[in-house]
Amino acid sequence: MADNPLVNSPIADAVAAAQVSVTAEAPAQAVASLYQLASHVTGLSLQNAVHGQQTLNPLSTAVVSKAVQLIMAIGG
């Protein structure tokens, strides 16, 4: 680096090294964020599926009991 009385050379070198480090780590952090987001979305979709099944259980019981009631009414 050229000698400049307004810029401290070791500090300028440290800033340049930090910028290189941040630039080099950015793709890995982006992929890690993507993996974390994908796993979170997968977990939420599984929770929604379980909730949907649990919500349909009382409805299916009511449908079966009504069907049995209608079948029993045919014979009488």
40 by Cβ neighbours in 10 Å (0-12 / 13-18 / 19+) ranks as exposed
The pTM assigned to this predicted structure is 0.54
Kind and range of the H or E element at 39? helix 9-75
Domain residue extents for the chain: 8-76
pLDDT tens series, the chain, 76 aa: 556 667 777 777 888 877 877 787 888 889 999 999 999 999 999 999 999 999 888 888 999 999 999 999 997 6
For residue 3, what pLDDT is reported?
Answer: 62
